[in-house]
Chains A and B, each alone.
Chain A
Amino acid sequence: GAVVSQHPSRVICKSGTSVKIECRSLDFQATTMFWYRQFPKQSLMLMATSNEGSKATYEQGVEKDKFLINHASLTLSTLTVTSAHPEDSSFYICSARGRALGETDTQYFGPGTRLTVL
Protein backbone atom coordinates (compact mmCIF):
# COMPACT_ATOMS: atom_id res chain seq x y z
CA GLY A 1 0.00 0.00 0.00
CA ALA A 2 0.92 3.65 -0.28
CA VAL A 3 2.85 5.44 2.47
CA VAL A 4 1.89 8.60 4.30
CA SER A 5 4.33 10.17 6.73
CA GLN A 6 3.87 12.75 9.46
CA HIS A 7 6.37 14.95 11.18
CA PRO A 8 6.93 15.33 14.02
CA SER A 9 5.64 12.14 15.63
CA ARG A 10 5.51 13.80 19.02
CA VAL A 11 5.65 17.42 20.12
CA ILE A 12 5.43 19.19 23.46
CA CYS A 13 4.90 22.92 23.52
CA LYS A 14 4.01 25.72 25.89
CA SER A 15 0.57 27.23 26.02
CA GLY A 16 0.20 30.12 23.57
CA THR A 17 2.71 28.90 21.02
CA SER A 18 1.95 27.61 17.52
CA VAL A 19 2.79 24.15 16.27
CA LYS A 20 3.07 22.96 12.68
CA ILE A 21 2.52 19.35 11.68
CA GLU A 22 3.52 18.09 8.24
CA CYS A 23 1.85 15.32 6.29
CA ARG A 24 3.45 13.87 3.18
CA SER A 25 2.39 11.24 0.68
CA LEU A 26 5.66 9.50 -0.16
CA ASP A 27 4.93 7.43 -3.23
CA PHE A 28 1.74 8.81 -4.72
CA GLN A 29 0.09 12.09 -5.51
CA ALA A 30 -2.61 12.95 -3.03
CA THR A 31 -5.55 14.65 -4.65
CA THR A 32 -7.17 15.12 -1.28
CA MET A 33 -5.81 15.21 2.25
CA PHE A 34 -7.72 14.98 5.50
CA TRP A 35 -6.92 15.93 9.08
CA TYR A 36 -8.38 14.05 12.03
CA ARG A 37 -8.09 14.49 15.78
CA GLN A 38 -8.40 11.70 18.31
CA PHE A 39 -8.74 12.06 22.07
CA PRO A 40 -7.84 9.16 24.38
CA LYS A 41 -10.18 6.18 24.13
CA GLN A 42 -12.28 7.93 21.50
CA SER A 43 -12.72 7.51 17.78
CA LEU A 44 -11.21 9.69 15.09
CA MET A 45 -12.96 12.98 14.46
CA LEU A 46 -12.60 14.56 11.04
CA MET A 47 -11.44 18.17 11.27
CA ALA A 48 -11.06 19.24 7.67
CA THR A 49 -10.66 18.18 4.08
CA SER A 50 -8.25 19.87 1.70
CA ASN A 51 -7.68 19.63 -2.01
CA GLU A 52 -4.38 20.71 -3.51
CA GLY A 53 -4.39 24.40 -4.31
CA SER A 54 -7.78 25.03 -2.68
CA LYS A 55 -8.89 26.27 0.69
CA ALA A 56 -9.68 23.57 3.21
CA THR A 57 -13.25 22.64 4.06
CA TYR A 58 -13.69 22.49 7.82
CA GLU A 59 -16.18 20.31 9.68
CA GLN A 60 -18.77 21.96 11.85
CA GLY A 61 -17.35 23.16 15.15
CA VAL A 62 -13.73 23.26 14.01
CA GLU A 63 -12.21 26.73 14.16
CA LYS A 64 -10.50 27.48 10.88
CA ASP A 65 -8.51 30.37 12.34
CA LYS A 66 -7.10 28.12 15.03
CA PHE A 67 -6.33 25.12 12.86
CA LEU A 68 -4.67 26.44 9.72
CA ILE A 69 -4.39 23.96 6.89
CA ASN A 70 -2.22 24.41 3.82
CA HIS A 71 -2.17 21.94 0.95
CA ALA A 72 0.43 23.52 -1.27
CA SER A 73 1.38 20.51 -3.36
CA LEU A 74 0.12 17.06 -4.29
CA THR A 75 2.42 15.48 -1.71
CA LEU A 76 2.37 17.89 1.23
CA SER A 77 -0.22 19.27 3.62
CA THR A 78 0.42 21.11 6.85
CA LEU A 79 -1.71 21.68 9.93
CA THR A 80 -0.78 24.59 12.18
CA VAL A 81 -2.33 24.73 15.62
CA THR A 82 -2.19 28.42 16.49
CA SER A 83 -2.01 29.70 20.06
CA ALA A 84 -2.22 26.17 21.40
CA HIS A 85 -3.82 25.51 24.76
CA PRO A 86 -3.89 22.38 26.93
CA GLU A 87 -7.30 21.39 25.56
CA ASP A 88 -5.69 21.12 22.11
CA SER A 89 -3.56 18.26 23.37
CA SER A 90 -4.54 15.31 21.23
CA PHE A 91 -3.43 12.77 18.63
CA TYR A 92 -3.55 14.39 15.19
CA ILE A 93 -3.71 12.08 12.19
CA CYS A 94 -3.56 12.98 8.54
CA SER A 95 -4.84 10.96 5.66
CA ALA A 96 -4.33 11.15 1.93
CA ARG A 97 -6.35 9.91 -0.96
CA GLY A 98 -5.08 9.35 -4.45
CA ARG A 99 -4.48 6.80 -7.11
CA ALA A 100 -1.35 4.91 -6.18
CA LEU A 101 0.03 2.79 -8.98
CA GLY A 102 -2.20 -0.22 -9.60
CA GLU A 103 -4.55 0.48 -6.73
CA THR A 104 -8.04 1.75 -6.32
CA ASP A 105 -8.93 5.09 -4.82
CA THR A 106 -8.16 4.22 -1.20
CA GLN A 107 -7.49 6.50 1.73
CA TYR A 108 -4.14 6.05 3.49
CA PHE A 109 -3.34 7.29 6.95
CA GLY A 110 -0.21 8.71 8.52
CA PRO A 111 1.18 7.39 11.81
CA GLY A 112 -0.14 10.35 13.79
CA THR A 113 1.37 13.20 15.80
CA ARG A 114 0.88 13.38 19.52
CA LEU A 115 0.63 16.98 20.67
CA THR A 116 0.96 17.87 24.32
CA VAL A 117 0.40 21.48 25.33
CA LEU A 118 1.68 22.40 28.78
Chain B
Amino acid sequence: DAKTTQPNSMESNEEEPVHLPCNHSTISGTDYIHWYRQLPSQGPEYVIHGLTSNVNNRMASLAIAEDRKSSTLILHRATLRDAAVYYCILRFQGAQKLVFGQGTRLTINP
Protein backbone atom coordinates (compact mmCIF):
# COMPACT_ATOMS: atom_id res chain seq x y z
CA ASP B 1 0.00 0.00 0.00
CA ALA B 2 1.28 3.45 -0.88
CA LYS B 3 2.18 5.50 2.18
CA THR B 4 0.66 8.78 3.33
CA THR B 5 2.20 11.40 5.58
CA GLN B 6 0.12 13.64 7.79
CA PRO B 7 0.99 16.05 10.59
CA ASN B 8 0.50 14.46 14.02
CA SER B 9 -1.73 17.25 15.25
CA MET B 10 -3.36 20.51 14.24
CA GLU B 11 -5.33 23.12 16.06
CA SER B 12 -7.93 25.56 14.82
CA ASN B 13 -10.69 27.80 16.09
CA GLU B 14 -14.39 27.30 15.94
CA GLU B 15 -16.15 28.71 12.88
CA GLU B 16 -12.89 29.04 10.96
CA PRO B 17 -11.85 26.94 7.95
CA VAL B 18 -9.44 24.08 8.49
CA HIS B 19 -7.04 22.70 5.91
CA LEU B 20 -5.70 19.24 6.70
CA PRO B 21 -2.76 18.25 4.47
CA CYS B 22 -1.73 14.82 3.30
CA ASN B 23 1.35 13.88 1.31
CA HIS B 24 1.34 10.77 -0.83
CA SER B 25 4.30 11.09 -3.17
CA THR B 26 4.29 7.38 -4.13
CA ILE B 27 0.65 7.34 -5.20
CA SER B 28 -0.11 5.28 -8.27
CA GLY B 29 -2.53 6.10 -11.04
CA THR B 30 -5.27 3.84 -9.73
CA ASP B 31 -5.05 4.85 -6.06
CA TYR B 32 -8.11 6.58 -4.67
CA ILE B 33 -7.59 9.08 -1.85
CA HIS B 34 -9.93 8.41 1.06
CA TRP B 35 -10.48 10.46 4.17
CA TYR B 36 -12.03 9.11 7.34
CA ARG B 37 -12.31 10.64 10.77
CA GLN B 38 -12.63 9.08 14.19
CA LEU B 39 -14.27 10.83 17.09
CA PRO B 40 -13.24 9.74 20.59
CA SER B 41 -14.40 6.22 21.50
CA GLN B 42 -16.19 5.74 18.18
CA GLY B 43 -15.55 3.88 14.95
CA PRO B 44 -14.20 5.81 11.97
CA GLU B 45 -16.61 7.80 9.86
CA TYR B 46 -16.32 8.22 6.10
CA VAL B 47 -15.68 11.82 5.10
CA ILE B 48 -14.85 11.97 1.40
CA HIS B 49 -12.82 10.35 -1.35
CA GLY B 50 -11.53 11.24 -4.79
CA LEU B 51 -9.25 10.20 -7.62
CA THR B 52 -8.12 13.23 -9.62
CA SER B 53 -10.66 16.01 -9.48
CA ASN B 54 -11.58 18.07 -6.46
CA VAL B 55 -14.63 16.76 -4.63
CA ASN B 56 -17.25 18.39 -2.45
CA ASN B 57 -19.88 16.95 -0.17
CA ARG B 58 -21.93 18.11 2.78
CA MET B 59 -19.11 17.38 5.22
CA ALA B 60 -16.01 18.67 3.49
CA SER B 61 -14.08 19.38 0.32
CA LEU B 62 -11.13 17.47 -1.02
CA ALA B 63 -8.54 19.35 -3.03
CA ILE B 64 -6.16 17.12 -4.98
CA ALA B 65 -2.90 18.47 -6.37
CA GLU B 66 -2.46 18.29 -10.10
CA ASP B 67 0.37 15.75 -9.76
CA ARG B 68 -1.71 13.87 -7.13
CA LYS B 69 1.23 13.71 -4.77
CA SER B 70 -0.65 15.61 -2.11
CA SER B 71 -4.19 16.45 -1.11
CA THR B 72 -5.96 18.68 1.38
CA LEU B 73 -9.14 18.04 3.29
CA ILE B 74 -11.02 21.28 3.85
CA LEU B 75 -13.54 21.79 6.59
CA HIS B 76 -15.18 25.06 5.62
CA ARG B 77 -16.39 26.12 9.04
CA ALA B 78 -15.14 24.04 11.93
CA THR B 79 -17.32 23.23 14.89
CA LEU B 80 -16.41 21.63 18.19
CA ARG B 81 -17.89 18.40 16.88
CA ASP B 82 -15.21 18.28 14.21
CA ALA B 83 -12.54 17.54 16.81
CA ALA B 84 -11.31 14.10 15.82
CA VAL B 85 -8.44 12.13 14.33
CA TYR B 86 -8.47 12.50 10.55
CA TYR B 87 -7.01 9.73 8.44
CA CYS B 88 -5.86 10.07 4.84
CA ILE B 89 -5.73 6.65 3.19
CA LEU B 90 -4.85 5.45 -0.28
CA ARG B 91 -6.63 2.47 -1.76
CA PHE B 92 -6.11 1.26 -5.28
CA GLN B 93 -9.14 0.46 -7.37
CA GLY B 94 -10.28 -3.07 -6.69
CA ALA B 95 -8.48 -3.41 -3.37
CA GLN B 96 -10.60 -4.59 -0.50
CA LYS B 97 -8.98 -3.25 2.60
CA LEU B 98 -8.24 0.15 4.09
CA VAL B 99 -4.94 0.44 5.93
CA PHE B 100 -4.84 3.23 8.49
CA GLY B 101 -1.81 5.38 9.29
CA GLN B 102 -1.44 7.54 12.37
CA GLY B 103 -3.66 10.37 11.19
CA THR B 104 -3.90 13.99 12.32
CA ARG B 105 -5.47 14.82 15.65
CA LEU B 106 -7.51 17.98 15.12
CA THR B 107 -8.32 20.16 18.11
CA ILE B 108 -10.96 22.87 17.78
CA ASN B 109 -10.80 25.77 20.21
CA PRO B 110 -14.03 27.51 21.20
Q: Which residues of A contact B (CB under 8 A)?
A: 1, 4, 6, 32, 34, 36, 43-46, 49, 91, 93-95, 97, 106-112, 114
Main secondary structure of the interface of A (DSSP, over half): strand
B38-64 toward A: CB 8 Å interface, digit per residue (1/0)?
Answer: 100111111001000000000000000
Q: Which residues of B contact A (CB under 8 A)?
A: 36, 38, 41-46, 49, 87, 96-103
The CA-CA distance from A49 to B87 in the complex, in Å, is 20
The CA-CA distance from A32 to B103 in the complex, in Å, is 24
CB–CB A43/B102 < 8 A: yes
Residue of B nearest to A110 (CB): B43
Q: Which of B45, B49, B99, B101 lies in contact with A46, CB distance below 8 A?
A: B99
Separation in Å of the A7 CB from the closest CB of chain B? Answer: 13
Separation in Å of the A117 CB from the closest CB of chain B? Answer: 18
Identify the 4 closest CB pairs spanning chains A and B, nearest first: A109-B43, A44-B100, A109-B44, A43-B100
The CA-CA distance from A93 to B103 in the complex, in Å, is 17
CB–CB B43/A106 < 8 A: no
Separation in Å of the B105 CB from the closest CB of chain A? Answer: 10
Separation in Å of the A102 CB from the closest CB of chain B? Answer: 13
Separation in Å of the B68 CB from the closest CB of chain A? Answer: 19
Separation in Å of the B78 CB from the closest CB of chain A? Answer: 21
Residue of A nearest to B46 (CB): A106
Separation in Å of the B56 CB from the closest CB of chain A? Answer: 15
The CA-CA distance from A50 to B33 in the complex, in Å, is 23
Contact A49-B43, Cβ < 8 Å, known A43-B102, A43-B103, A106-B49: no
